[in-house]
Amino acid sequence: MQDQQQTSQQSSAGSAPLPVGPSPGFLSGYQSVRTGFNELLTPDGRVRPLWDRFIPMIERLQKGEFERRWRHSQRLIRENGITYSPYGDPDANARPWELDALPLLIHETEWREVSAAIVQRAELLQLVLSDLYGPQRLLKEAVIPPAVLYAHPGFQLAYHGLKPDSALPLHYYAADLARAPDGKWWVLADRSEAPSGIGFALENRIVISRMLPEIYRKCNVRRLAPFFIAFEETLQELAGLHSGVTRAVILSRGPQQECYFEDAYLARYLGHTLVEGADLAFRDGRVYLKTLDGLLPIDVILRRPNSEDCDPLEFSADSSAGVAGLLQAVRSGSVALTNPLGSGLVESPIFMAFMPRLCRFFLQQDLAMPGIATWWCGEPNSLEYVVSRLDRLTITEAYRHRGQKMQPEQDIAQVPPHKLEALIRSDPNRFVAQERLASSVAPLWKGNQLVSARLEVRAFSVAHRSSFKVMEGGLTRTTTTDSAVKSDSCAPFGRGCKDTWIVGDQPVEYVSLLTQSESAIELRRVGSDLPSRVADNIFWLGRQIERADAAARLLRTFILQATSETPESRQARLAPLLRALASQGQIDPGYALENMKGGLPDIESAMPQLIFDEHQPSSLRSVLEELSRVASVVRDRLSVDSWRTLVRIDQRFRSMQVASNSLDMTDVLNFVNGLIIDLAAMEGFVMESMTRSHVFRFLDFGRRLERAHQMTALLRSCFVGKHAVTGYLLEAVLEIADSVMTYRSRYLLNLQLAAVLDLLITDETNPRSIAFQLVTLRQHAESLPRHHKEVTLAKHEKLILSMVHSVRMLEIQHFCEPHGSDDQHQLESLLAGLERKLPALSHELANRYLVHTSSTRTWAPKPVLP
């Protein structure tokens, strides 16, 4: 009953072995593998006409210039932090995006044909989805066997009949393509759930066009921007179906997922709010965004998680990627999703086996581009055919869908051939067999030489004005091992990619990406809403910046003191600083206790290692890792410069960590000096580049709160207790507090406790003083949203005011005398009060403005019988 499958081998007669020899210049030494279509060279070893312009221009670059530019670009990639590994996991191999220096060139005439085939396929899949979630003519008229749908774990009954008739079931579709040895393109897989890759494609383009600007211009490369404009228009149109004022959000799976970079990137590029499930609320039939200003209705959700992860009430209870009630909102038509729920059904390999037939049924046409030959073992004839050719076919799960681990496939790959037949026969419905395709090859730039790699191209399309628009470009993925490129729904794990240039003979109308996207400016009304979760992270980012700064400054002063040649007893000088380090959590508290020191190694020899101590809650390593983590989850809210600074801090620390065995105090000192400057740069970007929005307020709130806290702890460690207050100590504290210059300009070299305390506690003009922090906190608190009905001060405001009051009431003059016990007591109680109230303030703020995302739970009683 199944169709005769057209295979790529049937038409592969034209692939003669390549007599590839050394050719002069750039290509010299390039050895292409001998099977498969060669993108660059003709069978007799000459450069294809398509590359006629490109290769000579590369060759005209001065010797070493190409390599130099490439290194520069790679730095750009690193600094932009393009990765597809989980964020915030310091142990994971942070894999930067492996972009190749050489793009893949495809002629626009050829791409036009490819595009037409993609449009046909997208429209066909749309019809298939509409039918399966609607009248199911395909089953009634026996076009496909019932098992294709009913045995499909991805066929959720809740999606059936979900769509109003006018709405399309598929807006955004991608196909993975490869070229057979005869040069014809084949579809390897359909991606209809939530295809990823357009953000990577765009970033690839930006990097390569900057690396080869003159070549890029002269090659008449088609632009990507029109695709994004169409994408945005489609989102707006969907929103328009629902209400006048539109708000679109990008629903991400969160920073733990591989594609978070792309989610954040798209959010920034398209100007929409990046949200996670916890940011959404379902109220009275609508979906809302939880923000500091309250709930704001959402019209369109650009969906990145799988459909089944979007509503824990309807599907998997342990899914928090969406919000309970989402399906009801969709049902009532108050929100549109793109892609709509359930769109992923048709991307399972089983549909590949039926595509020719589906195409004839719906469109009365043949497929414009064949899909790779696929046999579903649920059909008896196919089963026998497959079993007889197991050595030449790849067996995969018929119903596999996106995000499903590759586990089953790996299992299948590991099944020894003689057991494979039994496995398939035990449940034939579960398996499909696919032809193996030797995809085309192209050169890859690998450290001064060219190696050949196999290619697969992901082509993207978006529903636009009653048809589909195909991106003039794509994501070309490469593998240098000779096995077939395995594609997964997300980024190519551990594999490289290339920019994809669709080149024409005519110059392309000059439109820079920037102006193109600016022209869609009226589409960007949203994007300023601050979800409470983001505010929470921003607040913690502020705290972490300040925590890192405090740690670095204290560490610097400690090292300087520990290595100085002054005659005074080292012990006495270092003791208060050790107490401060211990109270910050940088070192084991034992170092600060006289009677415990014996059991610990000498601090001086231990120090370079201590900063890498992951068990200390605030070792430099812990603080910087937490800083990276918090920053990465709010990446879309940070400027590119701020982000680069953060990446630089991270990289410098990691490279020092690599050499940690041979470090001495001077190395640490150098690092810490650099860190302080980088953090100051961060703060500068914040102060000078951030608009005074809630984002700024929460960031600064975090910073100020942390700074007050750090200063309190420092003063307590150094001046509370029966320790002698020496000039060295006063100077050290001033140095840590970055207030030496101010002090000298006022008092010259006359170091006195009262004057130091005045400068660091009560002086409201000193940006390092506790009073300054408290006054700033008070200003921020006044600007935060509040309930209209509230007439009295909120708890957090009262806390701030009581702290301001206690600081202002401090009788600093008493400290002019050699400090008596009363004054000690006054200082001690002030600092103790602050140490109690500052965390309380943080807690109050969180209670009032920031979400506590406790996990959702489900319940369902089981029926019991009398």
Partner 1 sequence: MQYRITHTTKYTYSEPVPVFENKLHLAPRTTACQHCSSYRLMVMPDPLRIDSHADYFGNRVEYFSILNALRTLSVTSTSTVEVFEPSAPVDVDDSPPWEELRQGLLKPPNDAWRDACMFSFASDFVPISTSLAEFAKPSFTPGRPILAAAADLTRRINEQFHYNSRATDISTPVDVVLSQKAGVCQDFAHLQIACLRSLGLAARYVSGYLRTIPPPGKEKLVGADASHAWLSVFAGNAVWVDFDPTNNVLPTQDHVTVAYGRDYGDVCPIQGVFVGGGSHTMSVSVDVSTL
Using CB under 8 A as the criterion, which residues of the chain lie in contact with partner 1 when the complex forms? Answer: 139-140, 142, 145-147, 150-151, 157-158, 160-161, 281-285, 312-314, 317, 324-325, 328, 331-332, 426-427, 854-866
Shortest reach from residue 863's CB to partner 1, in Å: 4
Tokens of 619: 């070792």
CA proximity to 87, closest of 292, 265, 312, 309: 265
Residues 6+ apart with CB under 8 A from 788: none
Concatenating the DSSP letter of every residue in 182-199 gives TS-EEEEEEE-SS---HH
Shortest reach from residue 856's CB to partner 1, in Å: 5
Could you give the maximum distance between any two Cα atoms of the chain, in Å?
102
Strands 248-251 and 475-479: unpaired
With contact defined as beta carbons under 8 Å apart, do 725 and 819 qualify?
Answer: yes
Strands 475-479 and 449-464: antiparallel
Shortest reach from residue 420's CB to partner 1, in Å: 18
Nearer to partner 1, 724 or 864 (CB): 864
Nearer to partner 1, 322 or 349 (CB): 322
Shortest reach from residue 284's CB to partner 1, in Å: 7
With contact defined as beta carbons under 8 Å apart, do 94 and 258 qualify?
Answer: no
Nearer to partner 1, 281 or 363 (CB): 281
Nearer to partner 1, 35 or 853 (CB): 853
Sign (positive/negative) of CA torsion 839, 841, 847, 853? Answer: negative
Pairwise CA distance, residues 585 & 358, whole Å: 65
Shortest reach from residue 633's CB to partner 1, in Å: 21
- Omega of the bond prior to 204 within 30 degrees of 0, cis? no
Nearer to partner 1, 139 or 681 (CB): 139
Nearest 10 degrees: CA dihedral of 176, 180, 186, 189? -40
Pairwise CA distance, residues 356 & 375, whole Å: 12
- Omega of the bond prior to 339 within 30 degrees of 0, cis? yes
Give φ, ψ of 348 to 5 degrees: -75, 150
Nearer to partner 1, 236 or 856 (CB): 856
Nearer to partner 1, 134 or 767 (CB): 134
With contact defined as beta carbons under 8 Å apart, do 249 and 274 qualify?
Answer: yes
Q: How many CA atoms lie within 13 A of 573 on its CB side?
A: 18
Shortest reach from residue 326's CB to partner 1, in Å: 10
Pairwise CA distance, residues 286 & 514, whole Å: 35
Nearer to partner 1, 74 or 328 (CB): 328
Shortest reach from residue 342's CB to partner 1, in Å: 13
Residue 545 sits at the vertex; the CA angle it makes with 543 and 547, to the nearest 5 degrees, is: 65
End-to-end CA distance of the chain: give it in Å, rounded: 51
Nearer to partner 1, 514 or 860 (CB): 860
Nearer to partner 1, 147 or 669 (CB): 147
Shortest reach from residue 168's CB to partner 1, in Å: 21
Shortest reach from residue 851's CB to partner 1, in Å: 10
Shortest reach from residue 325's CB to partner 1, in Å: 5
Pairwise CA distance, residues 803 & 314, whole Å: 49
Residue 502 sits at the vertex; the CA angle it makes with 496 and 507, to the nearest 5 degrees, is: 140
Shortest reach from residue 353's CB to partner 1, in Å: 17
Nearer to partner 1, 64 or 863 (CB): 863
Please list the residues that pair with 191 across neighbouring strands.
Answer: 174
Shortest reach from residue 779's CB to partner 1, in Å: 31
With contact defined as beta carbons under 8 Å apart, do 197 and 492 qualify?
Answer: no
Nearer to partner 1, 381 or 519 (CB): 381
Q: How many CA atoms lie within 13 A of 537 on its CB side?
A: 22
